[in-house]
Every structure is written in C-alpha cells, then in structure tokens.
C-alpha cells in the first residue's frame, strides 16, 4: 500500500549516518522537485558532526528538460542534469549509501534511472506528498498527502537534520529553495491546497531569509515565445460537459512557430480555471519521447495536465489520470499518452464525463 513506513526522525538518523547520499526526483523537475532536492543537498553538506569536516557528501541528479532557472537556484550546490543514458554516479566508483527520492514514488517518473535504481531500491528512501506510487520502489517511505508541496515536508526534515529550534532558524540558502517549492506548488498561494500550515511554513521561510521577490521574478517572468504560446493555447479552448470541462492544447506546430520550448507550457492548465462554469481543466501538449527519457519510436506522445475545482459535483482528477497510467492529487494530476492530441482529448472527455455522472449520482 502507498502509505508511510517510517518517520522523519528515523529518516534523519539514516541520512546522518550515510557517507554518501544521492538525491533523485521526477522527470522534468518543477519548482517543488528542484527546491526540495537542492535544500536537502545543502542541508546534508552543511558542516557538522555527521559530515566529516564539511566535505560535500550529497548531490542531486535531474532527468528530462530542466526549467530554465535551475542553475540560478542550484548555484554551486552539487548537482547535474543528465541525459537519458547517463547513470547516476558513473563518474565516481563509490556507491551511495542512501538514495533519497523526493516528490515522487512512481517508476514511470523515474524511467531513465529505473534500471540503475531497481537493484539498489533497498537503499532508497521516499519523501512524497502524492496520492499514489509504487511501494516496491523503496522500503522506507514518508508520505503525507495533506502537504501542499514536498517542500513543506522537507522543510521540517531539514530542521531536524540541522537540529535548529524552528524552520525560521534554517540558513537562508536552504530556506530560499524550500520557499520556491511551496510557492510554485500552490500557484503562488492561489490554489485550493493552501492551508494555515502552508502559510505558517511560508512565513517561517520568509523569516529565515527566503528571497520571495527574486524567486518570483526568476520563475514567473514570460518570454515573448511563451506569451505567443499562451495566445495559441487560449485560441484552442473547447468547452464540453455542459461547459464544465475545458480543454486547451498546444501542438508541435505551435512550439515550432512561436519558438517556445516545453518548459514554456508550464502553468497553462490554470488559465481555464478562471471560467466560472468550468470545474475541470485539461491541458494537452505535444511532447517528444525524450522529455520523459524514452526512446523515440516515431509514435506521437501527448502530455496531459488536469485540474479541478472543489465545488460540487467535485471530480477527482487523480482517478482520471490513474486510468491513463498517471496520477497526482485529487485537484491536480497528470499523465501522458502515446496518442495524438485529438485521441487524448476524446479519452479525457470520456473519463471526465463518467466522473461527473458518478459524482451526480453520489
């Protein structure tokens, strides 16, 4: 079952005892993935009684096209962005004692590293906030689906690792990436996953010195190519299910003609949520297999992002995504299909229509 099998204090003991830690996260890392992994690596590399005189012992590895701001966030923190055939730690003969997997527990989101990770899964520790995952990926799992972002959990993990009294006492360079993950996974504190706990954690991170203005400027500014892509996406809006389901897409042609990249499509799912009648939003993006660390077999791949509102009849988009091999949260989930955008739209309309019918009967 996808449940916790350990506690944060037990994870702290494992990480403190490890001589070498490798931190992994999901393909195409977002703000929460990058923020949590960089914060944990910086925490583990802090000088301390468990860190052998301050020599860096932890690093993060990323797969898939990274966000354009990743180097600004990571700085000199040990990390690398890998290609599909690159193996973690190949340049060093020493094996990691612990493999920390953050913000995912799904083999499909770790495909490029799955063959390497499989034989080492007994050394893996998962920290996640998603509603589903693959239990066999790691024997030690800390899962809190109530957390808005994995950075909300990792903030407390970093506090315990460093032995400080509160999150507000974390070093600034650790608080800043943690704040990034918290902010981006809540839509800069606009989404329904915002709770009093989220705001308290955000306040503590700001008190620790998190650079809110710099982070917002770095990650939320639009290039001309992205603005052009947004225009294409808005022009594609379709309404279905009595105007309760909104579909929006960007095609290969849209990317080519606007000069935009896959990273420029981030966050577009939220646009149709501003329509009063819309309860479920689905965004479809033409993708290349390499974005997911897959070999290109010539078949079309469509990435699907789903969002839902909480008013009745509420739709659990995690169920929709799970039916297509993906997953996520009740109000935000995603998947990919080896299909054209048109075929993916037809399948989503079918699944969401069934969810509306089930919710109405309930």
Q: How many CA atoms lie within 13 A of 128 on its CB side?
A: 30
Q: Enter the pTM of the model.
A: 0.82
Instruction: List the domains of the chain with CATH numbers.
Output: 8-219 (3.90.1640.10), 224-361 (3.10.310.30)
pLDDT digits (tens, 9 = 90+) for 130-172: 988 899 999 999 999 999 999 999 999 999 999 999 999 999 9
pLDDT tens per residue, range 204-237: 999 999 999 999 998 887 789 999 999 999 999 9
Question: Is the Cβ–Cβ distance between 103 and 26 less than 8 Å?
Answer: yes
pLDDT > 70: what percent of the chain?
Answer: 92
Give the closest residue to 327 by CA, choosing from 143, 84, 69.
143
- The answer to whether 82 and 8 have CB atoms below 8 angstroms apart is no
Please tell me the predicted confidence (pLDDT) of residue 291. 64
- 312-331 burial, b at 16+ Cβ within 10 Å, e below that, comes to eebbbbbbbbbbbebbbbbb
pLDDT of 293: 57
pLDDT over threshold 60, residue 92: no
Q: In this predicted model, what pLDDT tens digit does every residue of 173-182 receive, in sequence order?
A: 999 999 999 9
Confidence of residue 84 (pLDDT cuts 50, 70, 90): low
CB atoms within 10 A of CB 210: 24
Placement of tokens 């993950």 in the chain: 181
CA 25 – CA 5 distance, rounded (Å): 19
Backbone angles phi, psi at 140, to 5 degrees: -105, 120
What ranges in 194-251 are assigned the alpha helix state H? Answer: 196-207, 212-220, 224-235
Q: Report angle CA 26, 282, 219 to the nearest 5 degrees.
A: 50
Mean pLDDT rounded to a whole number for the chain: 89
Q: What is the pLDDT of residues 93-122, one digit of tens each?
A: 578 999 999 999 999 889 888 989 999 999
pLDDT at 49 over 70: no
């Amino acid at each position: 079952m996808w449940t916790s099998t350990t506690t944060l204090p037990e994870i702290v003991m494992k990480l403190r005892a490890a001589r070498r830690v490798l931190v992994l996260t999901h393909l195409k890392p977002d703000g929460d993935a990058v923020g949590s992994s960089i914060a944990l690596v910086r925490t583990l590399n802090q000088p301390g009684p468990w860190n052998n005189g301050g020599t860096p012992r932890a690093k993060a590895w990323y797969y898939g096209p990274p966000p354009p701001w990743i180097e600004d966030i990571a700085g000199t923190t040990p990390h690398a962005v890998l290609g599909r055939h690159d193996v973690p730690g190949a340049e060093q003969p020493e094996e990691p004692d612990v493999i920390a997997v953050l913000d995912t527990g799904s083999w499909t989101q770790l495909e490029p590293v799955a063959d390497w990770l499989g034989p080492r899964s007994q050394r893996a520790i998962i920290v996640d906030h998603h509603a589903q995952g693959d239990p066999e990926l790691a024997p030690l799992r800390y899962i809190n689906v109530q957390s808005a972002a994995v950075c909300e959990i990792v903030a407390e993990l970093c506090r315990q690792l460093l032995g400080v009294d509160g999150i507000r006492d974390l070093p600034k360079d650790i608080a800043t990436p943690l704040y990034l993950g918290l902010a981006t996974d809540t839509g800069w504190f606009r989404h329904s996953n915002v709770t009093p706990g989220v705001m308290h954690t955000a306040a503590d991170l700001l008190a620790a010195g998190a650079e809110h203005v710099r982070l917002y400027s770095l990650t939320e500014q639009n290039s001309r190519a992205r603005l052009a892509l947004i225009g294409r996406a808005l022009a594609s809006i379709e309404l279905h299910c009595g105007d309760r389901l909104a579909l929006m897409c960007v095609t290969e042609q849209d990317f080519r003609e606007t000069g935009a990249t896959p990273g420029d499509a981030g966050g577009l799912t939220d646009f149709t949520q501003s329509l009063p009648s819309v309860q479920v939003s689905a965004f479809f993006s033409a993708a290349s297999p390499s974005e997911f660390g897959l070999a290109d077999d010539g078949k079309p791949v469509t990435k699907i992002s789903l969002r839902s509102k909480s008013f009745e009849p509420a739709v659990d988009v995690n169920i929709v995504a799970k039916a297509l091999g993906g997953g996520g949260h009740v109000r935000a989930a995603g998947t990919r299909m080896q299909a054209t955008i048109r075929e993916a739209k037809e399948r989503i309309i079918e699944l969401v229509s069934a969810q509306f019918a089930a919710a109405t009967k309930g």
